[in-house]
Chains A and B, each alone.
Chain A
Amino acid sequence: MMDALSNLSMGFAVAATWQNIGFALIGCMLGTLIGVLPGIGPIPTIAMLLPLTFGLDPLSSLIMLAGIYYGAQYGGSTSSILVNMPGEASSVVTCMDGHQMARQGRAGAALAVAALGSFFAGCVGTLFIAAFGPALADVSQRFNSPEYFSLMALGLLMAVVLAQGSVIKAIGMVLVGLLFGLVGTDANTGTARYTLGISELWDGIDFLPMVIGVFGIVEIIRNLEQPELHRTSVSTRFKDLWPSRKDFAQSWKPALRGTGLGAILGILPGGGAVLASFASYTLEKKIARDPSRFGKGAIEGVAGPESANNAAAQTSFIPLLTLGLPSNPIMALMMGAMIIQGIQPGSAVMTTRPDLFWGMVASMWIGNMMLVIINLPMIGLWVKLLTVPYRLLYPAILLFCVIGIYGVNSNWVLMAMTVVFALFGYIMSRFGCEAAPMILGFLLGPMMEENLRRSLVLSRGDPMVFVTRPISAFLLFLCVLLVLVIILPTVRKSREEAFQGGD
């Protein structure tokens, strides 16, 4: 524990420079600015803002990104509470009671409890990473290629099972992502694969046009399909924000439980914010003395899930930073950003660049704090933004996306690639296939191939290598268990029920 604390203080020493705090601040504000727009969740928000961080040095850019992440998430809660328009699945839960509270004139209390609960959960989550990160990294030191391959298979499978929608389609999308990840020059032989004679593909498919296409642009198109709704936002001022003593008394326990639940669920591959907030809401409803209050403005229904999703958002960094395994699409975006900065996430980061690892952990806490001290006072501004009609917003959002891509690489071919991925994402979404699993596969594709190759070289071509090594066998056993679980009808049914509210 002392170790963790001394490491954390080193992290703060590198992260808490004025310059970096400035970047955290800018990131947080931009994240909230885009995230608060109704119908835009954290994933497209982060995808759109990603390019802005590329020009900075690695630590500053990761700090700014963390700010964007927390800002986007909090912005999502704000639009859920005030206009009942969830940007993504994890905010659906917040809508249920948060918006009811807003209608009863308690929007301020809901927003403040969400922010304070998130802040508390963020602090706990940060400590969690400091305590468990190094331990997990130690375990991963004993991993060799076969273990990594099995771990990636398990991670991808879990991400698919715990996500929403059809499992088989999600597996298909993961495989497509893996295949897309292989496009470009093969590192081992120098052979070009699937480049279709396009020189821009020699280095592989560019990450930005892909994520901005399938997340950002598809989101804009989907929003344009809806007739413009007359959005009525509940007006809120800063001075209305402070929750009453009764609100506090009712919400600290749910926040505590939500934090614990979220911190644990966040570590699981495929876990993350969505699962955590659903689980916390269900838990609060179950143990409440009067469950009928839920859905009618129960503050517990805001405090619990909001804390849970932030704790999970925090701890889902653990598999990424220690194993190099992104557990959900947001972590995939983070991983993409790290790779672009020249950092390969994994246990090596902790040993070779401890300043970067601990600086980033510290920056998460800074990002969380920014959220409270910057966003709450600015609530009036965010509310105004909510009332800007979408017809004026979407050209600006589109422009932002496009300049982001063009700024990194001034090449019109990237524009065409963005359009291709947007069309692909749009059509696949019409068939009920979400793009998120594809991004996970895309990032893991080259690594999975490399580890498969090394494992098979090691065993002279004998595939039994994956089951004769104990750790790998255990991981694969979990995979098989998971597949069995999916096939069993009872589990399938309860999984569908659990996600009912999310559709």
Chain B
Amino acid sequence: MLRVKSPQNLGAGFAFGALGLAGLVLGRDLPFGSAARMGTGFFPLILSGLILAIGIWLALSSLVVSGERIERMQWRPVTFVSLAILAFGFVMTFAGLAVSAAALTLIAALARRETRWGETSILAIVLGLFSVALFIYGLGQAMPAWWGD
């Protein structure tokens, strides 16, 4: 009966295995060449192979050597921080920095379990104005400040 003794190593093994495989599969059309005339695939395919080997090694050793557990993933901060970044990029395409900064602040606030909306709204307005003042008027970065700019 196989038992996983080191979940962290198993996870890492799968991750490296997947990356190595991806490197091999996506790079399959790159010419390998020979040592004297290295093709564009020579180095990346060797690297991918090594990464795959490390992945397999870690996965197998996780069945033998005991190690640490994987801490539980906390999806709430991961999700909302990611969404906040993506929303910023999207809103910037039409609404300027002030609105985008406020949008990022509001969405990022959801990353914590209890959100204080009053406080967060004020923070959103302050950060929106502050970032325009600092980055556009202060540092002269080339990006639209307001909606319609």
Q: Decide yes or no: A176 and B105 within 8 Å by CB, A217-B81, A431-B12, A432-B12 being known contacts.
A: no
Task: Fill in one digit per residue for B112-149: 1 if any A CB lies within 8 Å of its CB, else 0.
Answer: 10001001000110010001000100011111000000
Nearest-Cβ distance from residue A181 to partner chain B, whole angstroms? 10
Per-residue interface assignment for chain B, residues 99 to 121, with 1 indicating a CB less than 8 Å from any chain A CB and 0 otherwise: 00100110011011000100100
Instruction: State which residues 417-459 of A face B: CB under 8 Å.
Output: 418-419, 422-423, 426-428, 430-433, 448-449, 452-453, 456-457, 459
Q: Are A452 and B38 in contact (CB under 8 A)?
A: yes
Query: CA–CA, A441 to B16, complex, Å?
Result: 15
**Contact check: which of A182, A217, A403, A453 meets B97 at CB < 8 Å?**
A403
Residues of B within 8 A of A415 (CB): 85-86, 88-89
Partner of A175, one of B54, B108, B109, B116: B54
Within the complex, the shortest CB–CB distance from B86 to chain A, in Å, comes to: 6
In the complex, the answer to whether A225 meets B74 with C-beta atoms within 8 Å is yes
Contact present for B73 and A430 (CB under 8 Å): yes
Q: Which of A128-136, A166-174, A243-251, A276-284 contacts B (4 or more CB under 8 A)?
A: A166-174
Residues in A with CB closer than 8 Å to B37 are 457, 461
**B51 → chain A, closest Cβ, in Å?**
5
Pair B89/A430 contact, Cβ less than 8 Å:
no
| A402 close to B88 (CB less than 8 A) | yes
* B64 lies within 8 A of chain A by Cβ: no
Chain B residue contacts of A452, Cβ below 8 A: 38, 43
Given contacts A168-B54, A169-B58, A172-B55, contact A402 B38 (CB under 8 A): no
- Which residues in window 220-239 of A have CB below 8 A to B? 220-221, 224-225, 228
A169 → chain B, closest Cβ, in Å? Answer: 6
Chain A residues closer than 8 Å to B105, beta-carbon distance: 395, 399
Instruction: Tell whether, in the assembled complex, residue A432 and residue B8 are in contact, meaning their CB atoms are under 8 Å apart.
Output: yes
- Please name all residues of chain A whose beta carbon is closer than 8 Å to the beta carbon of B50 when the two chains form the complex: 175
Tell me, in angstroms, the Cα distance from A432 to B15 when the chains sit together.
Answer: 11
How many angstroms between the C-alpha atoms of A428 and B19 in the bound complex? 12
Q: Is the CB–CB distance between B26 and A194 below 8 Å?
A: yes
CB-nearest residue of chain B to A221: B77
Stretch at the interface among A12-20, A331-339, A405-413: A405-413
Known: A193-B27, A392-B123, A398-B104. A407 touches B135 (CB 8 A): yes
Chain B residue contacts of A403, Cβ below 8 A: 97, 101, 131, 135, 141
Q: Which residue of A lies closest to B84 (CB)?
A: A398
Q: Give the residues in chain A near B139, CB-CB below 8 Å.
A: 52, 55
B66 at the interface (CB under 8 A from A): no
The residue on A at minimum CB distance from B6 is A432
Q: Which residues of A are found within 8 Å of B143, using beta-carbon distances?
A: 406-407, 410
In the bound complex, residues from chain B placing their C-beta under 8 Å from that of A224 are: 74, 77, 81, 111-112
With A403-B131, A412-B89 as known contacts, state yes or no: A426 contacts B104, CB within 8 Å: no
Q: B54 to chain A: which residues have CB within 8 Å?
A: 168, 171-172, 175
Asked if A500 lies at the interface with its beta carbon under 8 angstroms from chain B, I say no
Q: Which applies to chain B's interface (DSSP): helix, strand, loop or mixed?
A: helix
Give chain A residues whose Cβ lies under 8 Å from the Cβ of B40.
186, 188-189, 191, 193
Whole-angstrom CA separation of A176 from B8 in the bound complex? 18
Name the CB-closest residue of B to A457: B36
Contact B127 A399 (CB under 8 A): yes
Once A193-B40, A406-B143, A461-B35 are accepted as A-B contacts, the answer to whether A428 and B15 lie under 8 Å apart by CB is yes
Q: Mark B64-98, 1 if CB is under 8 A from A, else 0.
A: 00011011011001100110111011101100010
**Bound complex: CA of A462 vs CA of B143, how far in Å?**
53
Select which of A193, A418, A427, A432 is within 8 A of B44 by beta carbon: A193
Given A224-B77, A419-B86: A461 touches B34 (CB 8 Å cut-off): yes
Contact B78 A456 (CB under 8 A): no
**B32 at the A/B interface (Cβ < 8 Å)?**
no
Is A391 part of the binding interface, using a Cβ–Cβ cutoff of 8 Å?
yes
- A47 adjacent to chain B (CB < 8 Å): no
Provide the bound-state CA to CA distance between A127 and B128, in Å: 45
Q: Does B51 lie within 8 Å of A406, measured CB to CB? A: no
Shortest beta-carbon distance from A107 to chain B in Å: 30
Q: Which residues of A contact B36 (CB under 8 A)?
A: 456-457, 459-461
Residue picked from B47, B54, B127, most chain A C-beta under 10 Å: B47
A416 to chain B: which residues have CB within 8 Å?
86, 89
Across the interface, B51 reaches (CB within 8 A) one of A176, A191, A217, namely A176
> Which residues of the other chain, B, contact A191 by a CB distance below 8 angstroms?
30, 40
Considering the complex, give the chain A residue whose CB is closest to the CB of B70: A430
27 A/B residue pairs, CB under 8 Å, sorted by A: A168-B57, A175-B47, A175-B51, A182-B47, A186-B40, A188-B40, A189-B40, A193-B30, A220-B81, A224-B77, A224-B111, A395-B108, A395-B124, A395-B127, A399-B88, A399-B127, A402-B104, A403-B97, A403-B131, A406-B89, A407-B143, A419-B85, A422-B81, A422-B82, A423-B78, A427-B73, A431-B12
By Cβ-Cβ distance, the 4 closest A-B pairs, closest first, are A461-B36, A415-B89, A412-B89, A461-B35
